[in-house]
Amino acid sequence: MKAKKQKDKENHVVCHQKFQARIREAENSMQAQHLIIEALVEEKDSLFQTIQGLQEANDAPAPFDDEWEEEPEEQPEEEEI
């Protein structure tokens, strides 16, 4: 009986260690993905600034306007009974 408890405890420790390793692996993957996303956002911002600079240099109109024109929402027609 004592040997079974010891074996169960050892199995539990091994399982816990494997689980902790999987958690660390997932955390590392998430951190790497976060760094990639940050780099992509910075690259996007840099490209956007380059585009704006080129447009200004060529006197081109700005493609993006801060004022968006919203289209009015269509009201659904009520069905006649």
The CA-to-CA distance between both ends of the chain, in Å, stands at 77
Closest-CA residue to 48 (of 33, 69, 63, 68):
63
The full DSSP string for 31-59 is: HHHHHHHHHHHHHHHHHHHHHHHHHHHTT
- Model pTM? 0.56
61 Cβ contact list (under 8 Å, min separation 6): 55
Instruction: Give residue limits of the domains in the chain.
Output: 1-60
- What is the block-wise mean pLDDT of the chain (81 residues), using blocks of 10 residues? 91 96 98 98 96 89 62 67 55
pLDDT at 67: 59
Spatial contact of 51 and 61, defined as CB atoms under 8 Å apart:
no
